[in-house]
Chain A
Amino acid sequence: MQDVQTKPNGPVAAVFVAAGIGSTVMGLLVVLAEISKDISNFLKFDANFGIGSGVGPLSGKALLATIAFFGSWIVLHYVNRGKEVDFNKWLTAALVLVLVGFGLTFPPIFEAIAGIFKSEG
């Protein structure tokens, strides 16, 4: 229930979930680059699009994760503006997404996942 003396929590829920989306996108790109040489090469935004020099696939991972964060923030902010939402649900979703991001950037985890896909391929 909204405290009548404070602003609605929708925009805050939106930025928390957007941060989770940005984190998860970074984690997913780490795994995908490890699985596929083609994806790894595509993520070389320094060589492909002139964004930086000598950075390699990290240039694409960083830029796409940043775009995912700001892009989803704009969309979710628009959806939630002026609304009081069930904050616990949004926060739980945000935390799960952030923890997925943390997990997928941890080398033993992303290497294990990549290993499974590589052995199947």
Chain B
Amino acid sequence: MELTNREFWAVIHGLVLGTLFLLAFAGGLAGLWSLRERYLTAEGLQERSPRLLIGTWVMAIVAWLTVLTGTFIVYPWYRATPPEGVDLKDPAALVDFPRLYLLASDSTAEWHKFGMEWKEHVAWLAPILATAVAFTVSYYGMQLARRGEIRRALLVFFTLAFVAAGVAGLFGAFITKAAPVA
């Protein structure tokens, strides 16, 4: 039982960091949603505040690590090109070159043209939006319970970060199934 170097990084990028992101999102969303003065005592606010802070920063840091490993480690394997002479219309000759493998057949080309083209770009919105959320939670701390308009804005940004990461993660899984980098 072993993992190749490519499999290892694909697992770190898609599975380990992706799972952490989902966990941090779920916890953060629940924490933000219920962070209202009328729901919580002063002790409750104090108890909840560090958890929310850690959850949002974990989400932001994990999002950055996910796009960095994806873009600079895994993606170059995906878009690798074969040596001269390889038939670019023969999928069987392109199994080690996922992008070209997908493009070689009409039945799989859209995984690249639509799926990967969207995933590789929209993924970068997730860490940006998640960082804005984490900064705001740090800035206000427990005071956030008294700033309903900002808490609602955070919920929107938090959800948009999740949508961006979700699109990227979903297409990442499908594309890996169709043409693994390993």
A residues near B (Cβ < 8 Å) are 3, 5-7, 9, 11-12, 15-16, 18-19, 22-23, 26-27, 30, 52-56, 58-59, 61-62, 65-66, 69, 87-88, 91, 95, 98, 101-102, 105-108
Contact = CB atoms under 8 A, between A and B. Distances in A.
Interface of B: 67, 71-72, 75-77, 79-80, 113-114, 117-118, 120-122, 124-125, 128-129, 131-132, 135-136, 139-140, 143, 146-147, 149-150, 153, 156-157, 160, 164
Given A18-B132, A106-B118, A11 B139 contact: yes
Contact of A58 (B77, B120, B131, B156): B120
Contacts of A18: 132
A73 to B, nearest CB: 8
A51 to B, nearest CB: 8
| Interface of B: prevailing SS | helix
Nearest to A106: B118
B59 to A, nearest CB: 14
| Interface of A: prevailing SS | helix
A12 to B, nearest CB: 5
Contacts of B125: 22-23, 26, 98, 101-102, 105
A6 B128 contact: no
A56 B150 contact: no
